[in-house]
Amino acid sequence: MLTRVKIKDFKCIRTVDIPLSPLTAFVGPNDSGKTTILKAIQIGVTGEMELSRELAIAFPDLSLAPSTADASLSTVTLWQDASLSEFRWERQFKIEIEKDETHNLEFVQPIVKGDGPSLPTIFYNPRPDLLKRPSDSPEKPYALPSKLARLLGEDREVFLEIEKLLHEWVPTVESIILKRGPDRREDLMSFKLPSGEVAPSIIMSDGTLLLLEYLTLLLAPPRPKILLIDGPEEGIHPRALEKLVNFFRSIQSEDPDLQILMSSHSADLLSFLEPKEIVVTHRGEDGYTQAARLDQHPDLDQWLEGLTPGEFWLWDGEAEILQRIRDAREKQNE
């Protein structure tokens, strides 16, 4: 379980140092650094960095570090609660573009330095449009029909649990129907409705498919130890968000090592979280990301007497919340 992350010189981040809870949501305006934090954590826990070759070639001066950063390497430091002690490790990373003059080729080389554990991690960006499609391999991203088809064959009990939970969340879905396509190469997914009709995935709601995907990500083996979600509220009704958060908590109660970190713009989602599970992000006047946990706000208890955490976030705004936290810290240090 990660307890803290410190990120230096990565994209819009000069320095942030953030405590982490088992369930954490990063909230803030667009381009405030929420996804950047999740990506840095992904690199830190896996030791791997994904990079688009086309992007790097198109922008030969592309750097992961801010233009004014002194260091040539971006750095992420992570703290993990391991048994009775806390374990710390650090990874540094950058982009290098190598040129082969003989064959007139350019190679993008993501470089990650530093040792640490490699934790089973999934970075999930909700794309309901892709979940509606047939799929031909459970190993591919968004291949939901193939994932469920393999699960049905290998662990029917877990498949039935997923089907049962989906029906509880979406009563209009009675069961999941899987079959091979006409060419026998693709898996197709449909849903049996209370009327007896069968609806193919292509006409199902985005929210239904996303809820099914979250169930599959967390219940089907191999289960991750860290799930990073870039916008879990996408396409999901606020009441279903409450069920999703409760599901996350129930899975974590069964697997205390599971950590779920999210970026979000949803006040409804925040209303189902505790202040210590909410990290507010914002770009300061210098253009760099600032971040602090909501429970560090000095007047929070008073505000929460009449507002939910989500309502407070909308009412006060990120800049004001972070300023009040900074003022309280400075006062304590006087």
Size (the chain), residues:
334
pLDDT at 60 over 90: no
What are residue 192's DSSP bridge partners? 175, 198
Check whether residue 113 and residue 15 sit in a common domain: yes
Amino acid at 76: V
pLDDT at 138 over 80: yes
To which residue do tokens 């990073």 refer? 228
pLDDT at 54 over 80: no
Between 71 and 200, the more confident residue is 200
pTM, two decimal places? 0.91
The rounded distance, in Å, linking the Cα atoms of 5 and 78 is 5
Burial (0-12, 13-18, 19+ Cβ within 10 Å), 27: buried
Check whether residue 115 and residue 191 sit in a common domain: no
Grade residue 247 by pLDDT with cuts at 50, 70 and 90: very high
pLDDT at 57 over 90: no
pLDDT of residue 333: 80
pLDDT of residue 99: 62
Least confident of 18-32, 63-77, 146-160, 278-292: 63-77
Grade residue 246 by pLDDT with cuts at 50, 70 and 90: very high
User: In the structure encoding, which two tokens stand for residue 260, read together?
Assistant: 């779920």
Give mean pLDDT, residues 257-271: 95
Give mean pLDDT, residues 246-257: 94
Grade residue 69 by pLDDT with cuts at 50, 70 and 90: low
Proportion of the chain above pLDDT 90, given as a percent: 72
pLDDT at 104 over 60: no
pLDDT at 274 over 60: yes
pLDDT of residue 18: 95
Check whether residue 7 and residue 93 sit in a common domain: yes
Check whether residue 6 and residue 106 sit in a common domain: yes
Give mean pLDDT, residues 123-146: 94
Give every CB contact of residue 282 below 8 A, 6+ residues apart in sequence. Answer: 28, 29, 32, 289, 290, 291, 318, 319, 322
State the DSSP string of 234-286.
Answer: TT--HHHHHHHHHHHHHHHHH-TT-EEEEEE--HHHHTTS-GGGEEEEEE-TT
Check whether residue 17 and residue 90 sit in a common domain: yes
Check whether residue 34 and residue 87 sit in a common domain: yes
Sign of CA dihedral 166, 167, 170, 173: positive
Q: Is residue 64 part of a domain?
A: yes
Check whether residue 109 and residue 144 sit in a common domain: no
The rounded distance, in Å, linking the Cα atoms of 328 and 334 is 10
pLDDT at 7 over 70: yes
Q: Is residue 269 part of a domain?
A: yes
Give every CB contact of residue 145 below 8 A, 6+ residues apart in sequence. Answer: 134, 135, 178, 186, 187, 188, 189, 201
Cis peptide before 222 (omega within 30 of 0): yes
User: In the structure encoding, which two tokens stand for residue 20, read together?
Assistant: 């982490």
The rounded distance, in Å, linking the Cα atoms of 277 and 255 is 18
Grade residue 56 by pLDDT with cuts at 50, 70 and 90: low
Q: Is residue 48 part of a domain?
A: yes
pLDDT of residue 73: 83
Proportion of the chain above pLDDT 70, given as a percent: 89
pLDDT at 100 over 60: no
Of 171, 196, 222, the one marking the end of a domain is: 222
Give mean pLDDT, residues 133-151: 94
Grade residue 58 by pLDDT with cuts at 50, 70 and 90: low
Q: CA 169 → CA 75, 92, 106, 172, distances in Å? A: 41, 42, 50, 9
Check whether residue 152 and residue 114 sit in a common domain: no
Check whether residue 111 and residue 181 sit in a common domain: no
Q: Is residue 166 part of a domain?
A: yes
- Where in the sequence is the domain holding 7, given as residue range(s)? 2-120+263-333
Q: Is residue 16 part of a domain?
A: yes
Q: Is residue 256 part of a domain?
A: no
pLDDT at 53 over 90: no
Check whether residue 52 and residue 25 sit in a common domain: yes
pLDDT at 52 over 70: no
* Cβ(287)–Cβ(326) below 8 Å: no
Give mean pLDDT, residues 227-254: 93
The rounded distance, in Å, linking the Cα atoms of 207 and 204 is 8
Check whether residue 88 and residue 150 sit in a common domain: no
Of 205, 222, 239, the one marking the end of a domain is: 222
Of 222, 253, 284, the one marking the end of a domain is: 222
* Cβ(241)–Cβ(269) below 8 Å: yes
pLDDT at 65 over 80: no
Q: Is residue 257 part of a domain?
A: no
User: In the structure encoding, which two tokens stand for residue 133, read together?
Assistant: 């499609």
Check whether residue 116 and residue 133 sit in a common domain: no
Number of folded domains that form the chain: 2
Beta strands in 37-84 (DSSP E): 74-82
pLDDT, tens digit (0-9, with 9 covering 90-100), for 309-328 = 999 999 989 999 999 999 99
Give every CB contact of residue 306 below 8 A, 6+ residues apart in sequence. Answer: none
